[in-house]
Amino acid sequence: MSVLPFESLACPLDGMSLCREGKSWRCENGHSFDIARQGYVHLLPVQKKRSKDPGDSKAMVAARQRFLETGLYQPIADAVANATLKDVPAESTLRCLDAGCGEGYYLRQLGLAADGVDLSLLGLDISKWAVLSGARQDRRASWVVGSNANLPVLPGSLDRVLCLFGFPVYAEFARVLRPGGRLIQVDSGQDHLRELREIIYPEVRAESKKIAEAPEGFQRIASEDIRFPMHLAGAEPIADLLAMTPHLYRASQEGRERAAALDSLSLTVDVCLHTFEREP
């Protein structure tokens, strides 16, 4: 397996193809985007930025990285890699975008799982902290600060889009996937981290329901539930798990204090993985 350069970047201002020239990416209309020292490129136009520092903060990214490195979510990474590599002919090149990639854990795991298939990988996130962390850990993939709402990617140029615990924009995913290309989406199931939610909230709300139908332009290929128990030993992984989910911000002060007082916690992981295929 080798990781090949990603060659389908598009200018975020006019959609033209971007070509690498030295330390920048340029389009035919003269727009130019510098590649940062750490190897990523910023392709989020200022006018599309809703806040000064959009997406996950530096602290959230660091917490997610520490947590994922423990390997506790390995069964999810394995399922994502299996679904991504399914039906890919041997000795072909798979062009894959992780849309909302965070610090890049799932792309790194995909790189480890791909056997006999070449990969061309793009990690994109709206958080510059996430992309910076991804780029530092893996120089072989391409890394972009950008938004799912306006993907800086040429139409029909991808075989796979991953959207893991993220913010899907289906019209954009449909635009950048080739016909027959696939979207791999992972979302929390009803019981996901229930035991943590029971501690931090006075009343546990049901997590969002499973997606009932395939999004427009897609047909469902498969849906699978991934459920397993997880034991957190020590205050640090508990704090990291809380910090990498939306629960830290939603919980009350008392809820956060109850979680901070724990020194171990047994939890249910319950997520659903959907595979949707881009219609011709």
Ligand X SMILES: C[S@@+](CC[C@H](N)C(=O)[O-])C[C@H]1O[C@@H](n2cnc3c(N)ncnc32)[C@H](O)[C@@H]1O
- Other C-beta atoms closer than 10 Å to the C-beta of 115 total 8
What residues from 59 to 78 belong to the interface with ligand X (CB under 6 A)? 64
CB atoms within 10 A of CB 38: 13
Among 11, 68, 177, 226, binds Zn ion (CB under 5 A): 11
Residue 126 CB, shortest distance to ligand X, in Å, is: 4
Question: Quick check: 168 binds ligand X (CB under 6 A)?
Answer: no
Residue 149 binds: one of Zn ion, ligand X, none (C-beta under 5 to 8 A by kind):
ligand X
Considering only 7, 13, 48, 82, the residue that binds Zn ion (CB under 5 A) is: 13
Partner from Zn ion, ligand X, none contacting 31, C-beta within 5 to 8 A by type: Zn ion
Residue 36 and residue 34: Cα distance in Å, rounded? 6
User: Does 14 help bind Zn ion (rule: CB under 5 A)?
Assistant: yes
Q: Which is nearer to ligand X, 19 or 59 (CB)?
A: 59
- Cα distances (angstroms) measured from residue 266 to each of 2, 84, 196, 242, 269: 39, 30, 9, 14, 10
Residue 95 pairs in a beta bridge with: 120
Q: Output 100 or 254, the one with its CB closest to ligand X.
A: 100
- Residue 182 binding result from ligand X, Zn ion, none, given CB thresholds of 5 to 8 Å by partner type: none
Which of 109, 147, 157, 275 contacts ligand X by CB under 6 A?
Answer: 147
**Comparison of 59 and 149: residue with beta carbon closer to ligand X:** 149
Of the candidates 2, 29, 32, 38, which one interacts with Zn ion according to CB under 5 A? Answer: 29
Which of 72, 237, 87, 73 has its CA nearest to residue 164? 73
- How far apart are the C-alpha atoms of 209 and 37, rounded to whole Å? 42
Q: How many residues bind ligand X (CB under 6 A)?
A: 18
Nearest 5°: CA angle at 162, between 200 and 56?
45
Site residues for ligand X, 114-133, by CB under 6 A, read: 125-127, 130
Q: Which of 8, 133, 148, 185 binds ligand X (CB under 6 A)?
A: 148
| Closest residue by Cα to residue 161 from 222, 43, 80 | 80
Q: Which does 152 bind (CB under 5 to 8 A by kind): Zn ion, ligand X, none?
A: none
Q: Residue 192 has which token pair?
A: 């996901």
CA distance 150 to 188: 25
Which one-letter DSSP state was computed for residue 213?
A: S
What number of other Cβ atoms are within 10 A of residue 271's Cβ? Answer: 24
Contact positions toward ligand X, by CB under 6 A? 55-56, 64, 100-102, 105, 125-127, 130, 147-149, 164-167
